[in-house]
């Protein structure tokens, strides 16, 4: 299993995790774009029980278009988004790729919500692509 670690921009929130990355994708949905301020967000999904956090992130909760209750965990000092949680998948957490120190492990397998991507965003044609959330 890879040892994962990372921290926010100011260093007040840090994490380690002894977990495999179960899946990773680029999400182009409006919620991810608005939350990150970027054209899309790359998310890495790990076992929630393997995540060890130092510091106390703030949590913003909202309902996704699917009806799922979603959480965005971020640093209250510098604003860096760190983690996400879908309450419909209680055993998984997502790590935002930009805070992971082992950047060589960031290997998304798909682009999701291409129906709402910013038109000028380049897409890697080698990755699977879905107009919404598959399955």
Q: Look at residue 55 in the predicted model and tell me its pLDDT.
A: 98
Strand partners, 94: 45, 84
Strand partners, 44: 24, 95
| Max CA distance (Å), the chain | 39
pLDDT band at 95, cuts 50/70/90? very high
List the one residue out of 98, 73, 100 whose CA is nearest residue 87: 73
Give the pLDDT mean for 72-79.
97
Sign of CA dihedral 119, 135, 108, 27: positive
Q: Look at residue 43 in the predicted model and tell me its pLDDT.
A: 97
Q: Look at residue 2 in the predicted model and tell me its pLDDT.
A: 61
Length of the chain (residues): 135
Q: Which domains does the chain have, with CATH numbers?
A: 3-129 (2.170.150.70)
Q: Look at residue 58 in the predicted model and tell me its pLDDT.
A: 98
State yes or no: pLDDT of 67 exceeds 90. no
């Amino acid at each position: 299993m890879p040892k994962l670690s990372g921290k926010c921009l100011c260093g007040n929130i840090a994490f380690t995790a002894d977990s495999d990355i179960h899946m990773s994708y680029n999400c182009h949905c409006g919620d991810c774009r608005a939350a990150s301020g970027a054209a899309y967000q790359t998310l890495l999904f790990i076992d929630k029980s393997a995540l060890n956090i130092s510091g106390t992130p703030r949590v913003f909760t909202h309902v996704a278009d699917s009806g799922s209750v979603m959480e965005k965990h971020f640093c209250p000092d510098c604003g860096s988004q760190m983690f996400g949680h879908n309450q419909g998948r209680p055993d998984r957490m997502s790590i935002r790729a930009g805070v992971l120190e082992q950047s060589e492990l960031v290997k998304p397998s798909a682009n999701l919500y291409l129906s709402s991507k910013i038109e000028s965003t380049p897409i890697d044609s080698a990755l699977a692509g879905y107009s919404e959330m598959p399955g």
